[in-house]
Amino acid sequence: MKTAKLLLSLIGLLATMAVANAQESLSTKIAEWERAKAYTKEYLDAMPESGYSLKPTPEMRSFAEQMLHLTDANYGFTASATGEKSPYGLGEVEKIQDKSKANVTKEVMAGYDYVIAALKKMTPKQSEEKVKFMNRFEMTRDMVFVKDFEHQTHHRGQATVYLRLAGVKPPQEKLF
């Protein structure tokens, strides 16, 4: 009898620890997205208004389009992960006509807010549910957010070249 009670207590403790670890993991992801948002804002702030139309080569996106593309994915990936309808259709953000520094900054920050709000609503159990991403890849909701994080990091990194071409020193790396 004592052994059974002890075993049940141990199982309860392990379950509680697992839930706490999963919640802590989700909190860490939210903090990382908030850090990425702040880092991207530094890039947006560093580029002068005149650099928002800069294209390293004619076939490449402008700085504004690069940042809006990053934002398109933030909306699309998040909608795919949550199953909620995105406020924008695929590719719509990148095609926004007002590519001024103020408007691009507003749009990009709103895209990060969309991701962060979705993560704040998600439970650890939901994050482990499988979804069909891009109608092709089966993965957990959590992995869709991981892929989105990788995507925004990639495009923000590309923006370093744009800043250098505009004669601007890129923001200091912000890993922590």
Query: If you average pLDDT over every residue of the chain, what do you get?
Result: 90
- Can you give the pLDDT at residue 25? 85
- Can you give the pLDDT at residue 174? 82
**pLDDT of the chain, 176 residues: tens digit per residue:** 676 665 555 454 434 434 444 456 889 999 999 999 999 999 999 999 999 999 999 999 999 999 999 999 999 999 999 999 999 998 999 999 999 999 999 999 999 999 999 999 999 999 999 999 888 899 999 999 999 999 999 999 999 999 999 999 999 988 78
Measured CA to CA in angstroms, residue 113 lies from 14, 64, 108, 123, 137 at distances of 34, 18, 9, 18, 25
Q: Are 52 and 104 in contact (CB under 8 A)?
A: yes
DSSP for 31-83?
Answer: HHHHHHHHHHHHHHHHS-GGGGG--SSTTSPPHHHHHHHHHHHHHHHHHHHH-
- Can you give the pLDDT at residue 176? 81
- Can you give the pLDDT at residue 119? 97
- Can you give the pLDDT at residue 10? 46
CA atoms in the 13 A half-sphere facing the CB of 7: 4
Question: Rounded to two decimals, what is the model's pTM?
Answer: 0.86
pLDDT tens readout for residues 101-131: 999 999 999 999 999 999 999 999 999 999 9
Structural domains in the chain plus CATH codes: 29-165 (1.20.120.450)
- Can you give the pLDDT at residue 19? 42
- Can you give the pLDDT at residue 71? 98
Instruction: Render the burial of 57-66: b for 16+ CB within 10 Å, e for the rest.
Output: eeeebbbbbb
